[in-house]
Structure 1
Amino acid sequence: MKSSAKKESYSSRTPMEQDKKGQHKKDTSGVGKSNIRRELLSQHGLKQLQTGHNKNTKQDVQSTSQQKRSESEKSLTKRKTSLGKKRPKANPFYQQSLHTWQLWLTAESTLKIFFIVGIVLIPIGMICIYFSEMVQEIVIDYTNCQSSANTKCIDDIKSGNATCNCKMNFSLKEDIGGKIFMYYSLHHFFQNHRKYVKSRDDKQLVGKLSKVPSSDCEPFKFSNSNKPILPCGAIANSLFNDTIKLFNETQEINLEKKGRVWDWDKKTKFKNPDNNSLKGLEFDKPIFWQKSIWELDPDDPQNNGLENEDLIVWMRTSALPNFRKLYRIIKGLKKGDYELQIEYNFAVHHKDFRKRVIFSTMSLLGGKNPFLGIYFVLTGLACVLFGAFCLYIHVNYGKRPYKGSLL
């Protein structure tokens, strides 16, 4: 009944109503489709915008990363260049890649070293002693030399006498051939004192004179008349000024003055000033001198001034308080009696001070000096004895089995 009623109601509608209802359905379906299309288009546009934005951000990130890479590469290149400048040369020495050798000390190698050193040093020391004994040497102490009035010259100098003459005798039992070197020797005279060594004017000694000497020369810089001293300083002021002559039974022996200094000293350290540098300048002799610098050698005008060999020898200061300096050179002496005539001027008022004249020959190793040979022999003997002691310990106790800690 219900279905029939529905059918009747539907059929009861007019054709116009039915057409309008169909058109309305069509219209509603078209509007829905258009809305769907718009939504799809809008969603597609958003996706395109999002993808474009993502592309832009990726490009920005890539560009920034490329900039950072370029900056890091530039900094690396700068570091490499700076390191390349500081890097040492490609040399095994600079790169510390040289071949090395390390001594591995064992009992056998140590014993060999001690015995070899001892065996080498002992004969070397004996050779040095042999050559030292070959040197002939005569030593004459004239500190307390007596004058003709039977008084000691050193006491006369202390009392105020300007000079004192004395004589010393000696004899030779055999001839001495070749060159004989005559020295004066001073004991307990400290030329190595710091202020004494500095007390000189090196510019003045090479001929560069001035009205005001170096301040190192104080207090021997100016004389009592306020004139500059030439040469100034304590070294020059204390110049050894004893005059020594040698006589045999009949005549005076020739004593050579030249050839006692190094050529290097005369060329570089001691030069006479030229005449132009002396113009308008007045100098006084040192306080303790009896002669001026131009009168040191009256027999040889070429051996005067700052190039005087006695002065050059004295200006080369000694490192020890007991020393000898070359005074003259003699060409051989015959056996017989000899006499030293001494003009006693150089006096030091100290109880331990001594003055000597030494005549000495030369060997292949120089003058008489047994210390070096004795030192070598003693060192060699010590090495041999210590090596023998170590050998005894090694033979008797070196191969024992280990029995644990000794603690």
Structure 2
Amino acid sequence: MDMPDDKDAPPTSKKTSTKPIYSKFSQQELPAWKPILTPGWVISVIGVIFIPIGLASLFSSDCLPPSHAQNAVAYIQSDTTNKTCITKWTVEHKMEAPIYIYYQLDNYYQNQMLIFVSREDRIRYLSLLTIQPTLYLLNRREYSKECVRKCIVSILFFSIIAVIVFKTSNCVDMILVNSCRYGETTNCFPEDKTKDNQPIVPCGLIAWSLFNDTYKFSTNNKDLTVNKKNIAWGSDQRSRFGSDVYPKNFQRGDLIGGAKLNESIPWSQQEDLIVWMRTAALPTFRKLYGKIEVDLEVNDEIEIAIENNYNTYEFGGKKKLVLSTTTVMGGKNPFLGTAYLFVGGLSLLCAIGFILLYVIKPRPLGDPSYLPWNRNPGSIK
């Protein structure tokens, strides 16, 4: 019998297999190395990282007339003396917009306890506590007994909390809103009320000492507009300062502390005040004054008219004006660079100490002789 030719044979299916293709990745056989985090390694890495950051972070004119140098306090407190001074700066490097304007105060302890607590800005949400459960009940599509019961319990619970909040605080709702607008300001002594017992809004020493120097800029005989919008934190504007609260009886006492406020503008739009009320932690600090939104070219001459009103002579403080642009690391901050260099250098010194200790008196890692049960009683290694 003739055998069929292989070419005429029907095709047969190839044998399949579920065995995966072998690879070191799929079988988790890739070489690996896990460093042992010894003090020497960790501190060395910190030093190597911090020092370059510190190096990267590191890369005025007096407005007091000579005739008043011996009595600076009387000069700054006088209402008749002209306190305007003109200074000129030359731009050494191109400054691209936005250019941030800061005022810097030295030797000014804004976080001093008596000043820090002299304010009234406790946030209360009485209306939210009672309104939200009610809205929840009204918006429900199904009114089962269980739903109604839970909603009633919720409303009663939050109402009790609201009553407690109302009884135990001077302020209800947001800062000095509603009842507090004409109520007590017990936390604001000594700037709490006027002589005729009227509440001061905003009250307290921090608001009273609001920075009141002003700056005007010009270049090439053209005025530079200073944009003072969006210089405060958005969270402060939305949640810490009421949009329907207006200044009242502010800076009307015998002693005038700082800047005055426009009584037709609500708190949430008084951005200079909002910036000032966010107290600084250190005695040298900067606060944002505004922004210049045009580029300044190299060798441009900026003329600055400064109204020297803020009294820093009384306590030996200093005022500085700073123009700064930002990078990926923020604006120029010598303190930050110095801090990084200090921590990095200290870490490297500690790392060198650990290395010397390891060379002089090594201790093998994982030595079982150091286990407590392998030591001789009373011996110390």
The amino acid that maps onto 1:384 is: A
Q: What are the within-5 Å matches in structure 2 for residues 146-157 of structure 1?
A: 146=64, 151=68, 155-157=74-76
Q: 1:353 aligns with which of 291, 314, 317?
A: 317
Q: 1:221 aligns with which of 192, 195, 199?
A: 192
Q: Which of structures 1 and 2 has the larger relative contact order (alpha carbons within 8 angstroms, sep 6+)?
A: 2
- Residue in 1 that maps onto 2:304: 340
Output the CA distance in 2 between the equivalents of 1:197 and 1:133: 31
Output the CA distance in 2 between the equivalents of 1:322 and 1:290: 19
- Residue in 1 that maps onto 2:361: 394
Of the two, which has the highest radius of gyration?
1
Q: What are the within-5 Å matches in structure 2 for residues 289-328 of structure 1?
A: 293-294=261-262, 305-328=267-290
Secondary structure of 1:176 counterpart: coil
> Contact between 1:293 and 1:305, CA under 8 Å: does it hold in 2?
no
1:192 counterpart = 2:102: no
Output the CA distance in 1 between the equivalents of 2:342 and 2:318: 27
Q: 1:266 aligns with which of 237, 249, 267?
A: 237
- Residue in 2 that maps onto 1:166: 85
- Residue in 2 that maps onto 1:231: 202
Q: 2:101 aligns with which of 182, 203, 209?
A: 182
Q: What are the within-5 Å matches in structure 2 for residues 4-403 of structure 1?
A: 113-134=38-59, 140=60, 144-146=62-64, 151=68, 155-161=74-80, 164-202=83-121, 203=171, 205-208=175-178, 209-273=180-244, 283-286=248-251, 287=253, 288=256, 293-294=261-262, 305-331=267-293, 332-335=295-298, 336-350=300-314, 352-367=316-331, 368=333, 369-394=336-361
> Contact between 2:43 and 2:351, CA under 8 Å: does it hold in 1?
yes
Output the CA distance in 1 between the equivalents of 2:307 and 2:190: 28
| TM-superposed deviation, 1:146 | 3.7
Secondary structure of 1:131 counterpart: helix
Go from structure 1 to structure 2 and tell me whether the alpha carbon gap of 1:290 and 1:128 turns closer, same or farther (over 3 Å shift): closer
Go from structure 1 to structure 2 and tell me whether the alpha carbon gap of 1:387 and 1:291 turns closer, same or farther (over 3 Å shift): closer
Output the CA distance in 2 between the equivalents of 1:283 and 1:393: 73
| TM-superposed deviation, 1:272 | 3.0
Output the CA distance in 1 between the equivalents of 2:241 and 2:81: 29
TM-score with structure 1 length normalisation?
Answer: 0.59
Unaligned runs of 5+ in 1: 1-107, 135-139, 296-300
Output the CA distance in 1 between the equivalents of 2:52 and 2:119: 42
The amino acid that maps onto 1:172 is: V
Go from structure 1 to structure 2 and tell me whether the alpha carbon gap of 1:375 and 1:259 turns closer, same or farther (over 3 Å shift): same
Instruction: Flag the structure with higher helix content.
Output: 1
> Contact between 1:114 and 1:384, CA under 8 Å: does it hold in 2?
yes
| TM-superposed deviation, 1:174 | 2.2
> Contact between 1:228 and 1:284, CA under 8 Å: does it hold in 2?
yes
CA offsets 1:196-220 (integer angstroms, 9 cap, x no match): 1111122484533433331111221
Mean Cα deviation higher: 202-211 or 231-240: 202-211
Secondary structure of 1:128 counterpart: helix
| TM-superposed deviation, 1:315 | 0.7
Go from structure 1 to structure 2 and tell me whether the alpha carbon gap of 1:310 and 1:247 turns closer, same or farther (over 3 Å shift): same
Unaligned runs of 5+ in 2: 1-34, 122-170, 368-374
Count how many residue pairs are aligned between Structure 1 and Structure 2: 277
Output the CA distance in 2 between the equivalents of 1:361 and 1:151: 35
Secondary structure of 1:385 counterpart: helix
Output the CA distance in 2 between the equivalents of 1:269 and 1:248: 38
| TM-superposed deviation, 1:193 | 1.5
Secondary structure of 1:333 counterpart: coil
